[in-house]
Amino acid sequence: MSFSLDSFQIGDLITGKIIKLESTGVLVDFYTDQLAYVPLLELSLTEIQSPEEAVQLNEIREFLVVGNYDGEHEIYFSNCSPETLKDSDRLYETTLYLASEKCGHPINREDLIVHTKILAVHGGGLSVRICWFLCSQEHPPTVSFSIRQLEMRKAWERVRQLQAEDVTMYGKILQKTSRGALVKIEGLHGFIRTYVDKHREELIVGEELPLKIIEVREEYNRLILLHRSISIRLRQLQVGQIVSGTIRLIRDYGVFVDIGDLYALLPTSKMFHPSVDNPNQLFKINDHLKAAIIKLDPENGQVVLESYGSSA
C-alpha cells in the first residue's frame, strides 16, 4: 500500500505501530484510514531473513517517509552557481533532461515533481541534491516508509561525528580490490585506500582492521578510510622532511619507496637525473635512498618525494 504526497511529506519522521508480522514484511498502523505495508528490505540496515530480527509485534517505531515510485531518482550537482539556483527554470530544465535520459523517453514538465536540497556551500558555488518523481493522472506520486533509510541517515551522522572526534573504528573486510578493500562499518559500506600500504597483500577477507575515517560524503554515498597505522604515520611527516627508504616497486612513472608502514612515490620527473626516461636505468629493487617530501595528502594517503638535492 502507498500513500499520496498530500498525506505525508518526504523526509518526515513519523511513528507507527507494528500490528502484523508476515514473512515478507509488516503491516504498520500510522493512525490513518489505511494500514501501510513495509517490506522486509526496509526494516533494517543490516541484512535480515525475517521481520522478527528487526521489529516486534505491537512495537512502536519511527519510520522515515521516502519516495515510492519506479521513476524516483536523485541527481547531484557538485558545483551549482547561486544564479542557477535562483533561476529555477534552468535547474528544472537540466533535471528534466537528465530524468528523460534515465527513463529512456521524453518527460513532460507537468509529469515531474522536483525537491531541491542544498548540501553544502563552498568556494565554487553550491552542492545540490535533487529528488525527482514522475507522476501523472494514471500514476499519482506516492510515498512509503522505511526504518532502513532512517538507520542509514543516523549511521552517516555517527560516522561524521566519529571522524570529527578522530575515533578509531573497526571494520570487517568484505572484498579486496586492485586499489584497496571494501569494508562494512556502522552498517555502511566503506573503502580502504591501501595503494600506499605495504601490507596490502596481507589483507584477509573477513578480517577486522583498526581504521581512521578520512572522508564522509553522504551525498555521494562515499566513505573513505585508512588503516590506523598509515594515518598515524602520515601525521608524523611534513613537507620538506628528508626520509630514508627502500625501493620496493619500479614503474615507468616512478618508484615506490618503503619509508616505514607505507609507500611513498618518487616520480620520474622528480628524480636527480631528469633526463632519464625509465627509472630502471637508475634503480633496482631493494636499493636504499634518501629523498625529500614535496607533497603530503593525508586524506588520500599520498606521499610524493623528490630526490634529495634535486633542483627539479
In this structure, what C-alpha cell is assigned to residue 16? 507507527
Mean pLDDT, the chain, rounded, equals: 81
In this structure, what C-alpha cell is assigned to residue 46? 543490516
| Residues 47-75 pLDDT 10s | 899 999 999 999 999 999 987 554 456 77
Helices (H), the chain: 82-86, 88-103, 148-164, 228-235
Torsion, CA 242, CA 245, CA 250, CA 254, rounded to 10 = -10
The pLDDT score that the predictor gives to residue 81 is 78
Distance CA 260, CA 293 (A): 14
In this structure, what C-alpha cell is assigned to residue 53? 530480527
- Collapsing DSSP to helix, strand or coil, 95 comes out as helix
For the cut 60, the answer to whether the pLDDT of residue 195 exceeds it is no
Contact between 245 and 265 under an 8 Å Cβ cutoff? The reply is no
Q: Whole-model pTM above 0.95?
A: no
Phi/psi at 258 (nearest 5 deg)?
-80, 110
